[in-house]
Amino acid sequence: MPELPEVEAYRMYVETALFESPIQKVELLREKVMKSDWKEFKKQTEGQRFISTKRIGKYLFMQLENKKWVLFHFGMTGKPEFYQSKEVQPKHSRLIIHFESGLKLSFVCMRLFGRVELVNSIEQYQKEHKLGIDALEVSQSDFSDYLSSRKAAVKTVLLHQNAFAGVGNWIADEVLFQSEIHPEIRAHKLTKKQLERIYDDLQEVLKIAVQKQANYHEFPEHFMVKERWGDGNCPKCGEELKRIVVGGRGTYLCENEQAG
């Protein structure tokens, strides 16, 4: 499932060609992915040029000259893919943006959980969808204040998209592993020092994941993410990683380092 790092990589990818040419037409191949009124979507996008992008968590917004935004949310299997007129349309294309230059941008989505939408205001959208501040933009003090006010397990709180958008399951596990914090510790019981450490590790894990464009096999040796598929061992002490369930989510940890 595309998480914050993948979607940031997608954002950088679309920016390589998005602004070059106006939209000639939009073509919808599967109605299921279109969450806005299709006629209105067509009317507001055709003839427009894209002028900027913004990512919040796993949501990619692309702004048009008329200040409206086209939103791509990738669901389980979605991705953007550019191709030229003479090339074969990518498999599982659900919506195609045709540019006047002949370039096309496909919203590819095999399992159809993704969606495309026309958004008037990002702030309004965030409110309506209870979407928090992007996890890479949240401040240390807002982060600490939020965790200190929650009694749920720290792992569960890190996944609250209404607080910090974009922290997915493996990211939360990796952060707590790096911070040497047990995922079941109640968030409000964490010390100031622990909260600072979790914040720093969250920023570090996200930045590395974005830099590596979410290619997990290129992650640093001390990351556990590579080990979490199969019978992984702790990259620090070599012990077998333990799998537990926290708040309904599969969770990996090393009991040696994450004792408390």
Report d(CA 43, CA 38) in Å as an integer: 8
Per-residue three-class SS string for the chain: CCCHHHHHHHHHHHHCCCCCCCEEEEEECCHHHECCCHHHHHHHHCCCCEEEEEEECCEEEEEECCCCEEEEECCCCEEEEEEECCCCCCCCEEEEEEECCCEEEEEEECCCCCEEEEECCHHHHHHHCCCCEECCCCCHHHHHHHHHCCCCEHHHHHCCCCCEECCCHHHHHHHHHHHCCCCCCEHHHCCHHHHHHHHHHHHHHHHHHHHCCCCHHHCCCCCCHHHCCCCCECCCCCCECEEEEECCEEEEECCCCCCC
- Say whether residue 256 binds Zn ion (CB under 5 A): yes
Of the residues 81, 134, 201, 257, which one makes contact with Zn ion according to CB under 5 A: 257
- Say whether residue 162 binds Zn ion (CB under 5 A): no
CB of 221 to Zn ion, least distance (A): 13
The residue with tokens 């464009």 is 213
Of the residues 105, 119, 225, 254, which one makes contact with Zn ion according to CB under 5 A: 254
CB of 239 to Zn ion, least distance (A): 5
Q: Which is nearer to Zn ion, 101 or 256 (CB)?
A: 256
CB of 225 to Zn ion, least distance (A): 14
- Say whether residue 237 binds Zn ion (CB under 5 A): yes
Of the residues 153, 234, 246, 253, which one makes contact with Zn ion according to CB under 5 A: 234
Site string for Zn ion, 180-219 (x = CB under 5 A): ----------------------------------------
CB of 240 to Zn ion, least distance (A): 9
Q: Nearest CA to 114 among 140, 165, 79?
A: 79
Between the CA atoms of 154, 158, 162 and 167, what dihedral angle is there, to the nearest 10 degrees? -170
- Say whether residue 249 binds Zn ion (CB under 5 A): no
- Say whether residue 154 binds Zn ion (CB under 5 A): no
Q: Which is nearer to Zn ion, 128 or 239 (CB)?
A: 239
* Total number of residues that touch Zn ion (CB under 5 A): 7
Type of residue numbered 52 = S
CB of 176 to Zn ion, least distance (A): 13
CB of 171 to Zn ion, least distance (A): 19
CB of 233 to Zn ion, least distance (A): 8
Options 24-32, 74-82, 217-225, 227-235: segment touching Zn ion (CB under 5 A): 227-235
Q: Which is nearer to Zn ion, 102 or 220 (CB)?
A: 220
Q: Which residues bind Zn ion (CB under 5 A)?
A: 234, 236-237, 239, 254, 256-257
